[in-house]
Amino acid sequence: MRVSLIQAFFLLVSSFSTFAYGGNLNDDIEIQWGDGRGKISSDGKLLSLSLDKFSGSGFFSKHKYLFGRLDMEIKLVPGNSAGTVTTFYLSSQGPAMEPNHDEIDFEFLGNSSGNPYTLHTNVFAHGKGNKEMQFNLWFDPTQDFHTYSILWNPKNIIFLVDNVPIRVFKNHETLGVPFPKSQPMKLYSTLWNGEDWATQGGKVKTDWSKAPFIAYYRNFTVNACIWSPAEGQSSCPSSKNTWFRQELDVESYRKMRSLQKKYRTYNYCKDMMRFLGGTSRECTVREKDI
């Protein structure tokens, strides 16, 4: 009997459970490294990561996910944050970068005072990346919290800022383009020193007299399929999980394209100097499909 694509996805997530939750960060997050530089407040409502000359810090989620929507409110390092990199990403292997890992990235590249933060996005599937897009943030992300979201389902990956889509990466496996769909991923976030490349290609170095550099997190919300073999059969992709089949509607696509025209500063599909042999196959389709 032939199994349709969507039926195959139903079978794939049959050992996953669906959860929607938020609130106390202690329930969902574990400080990964930093020797005390990462901290969760006593009430579990606020998390901070810090970076100094000796070390950065990071955390990860206690669960792995296979498809879902994850939202986090973040307030980035203020002032002269040149050289610092704040990340918020999903990865099947964590920061180790295993050869066949999957990953969906938000990276915030620090700046010298007065210059906009650079938002760097990327997608890895089966170890293959090089799908970067960059944006100048159109607000000051250090003055208040803003919501950064990853919506990941079998059809596409949507990157959102304050619930406005800035990028969509569609499933183009029919073109031979790998898409992350079979490896569960944890959420990770780090604050680390990337002065060799982060600000103006490494021209502007970290000013350690400004340390410690601190980023803040709150209101982590997840509506996702959580990897839990002990759950047995589950109905993870159900009619209640609207994110499982969600794609951009006409209005959302219009907003995304308007934002990209104003604020996108790099698109891998346009970088012919870097990809002398030609960019990835999905770059041959209409831009609204990448």
Percent helix, percent strand, percent coil in the chain, to nearest 5? 20, 40, 40
Q: Quick one: pLDDT at residue 62? A: 94
Q: Which token pair is 16?
A: 């996953």
Residue ranges of domains in the chain: 5-289
Task: Tell me which residue has tokens 């159900």.
Answer: 238
- Per-residue pLDDT, 11: 42
Tell me what pLDDT residue 75 has: 98
pLDDT in tens, the chain (290 residues): 333 444 444 444 444 555 555 679 999 999 999 999 999 999 999 999 999 999 999 999 999 998 999 999 999 999 999 999 999 999 998 555 678 999 999 999 999 988 899 999 999 999 999 999 999 999 999 999 999 999 999 999 999 999 999 999 999 999 999 999 989 999 999 999 999 998 988 999 999 999 999 999 999 999 998 877 565 433 465 556 789 889 999 999 999 999 999 999 999 999 988 887 777 888 888 555 55
For residue 288, the SS3 value is helix
Return the pLDDT at 238. 54
Give whole-number Cα distances, 67 to 136, 187, 192, in Å: 28, 12, 27
Q: Which residues are catalytic?
A: 103, 107
| Segments in 20-141 forming alpha helices (H) | 25-28
pTM for this prediction: 0.89
Pick one of 3.90.800.10, 2.60.120.200, 1.10.10.10, 2.60.120.1130 as the CATH number of 5-289.
Answer: 2.60.120.200
DSSP string, 201-232: GGTS---GGGPPEEEEEEEEEEEEEEE-GGG-
User: Which pLDDT value is given to residue 20?
Assistant: 52
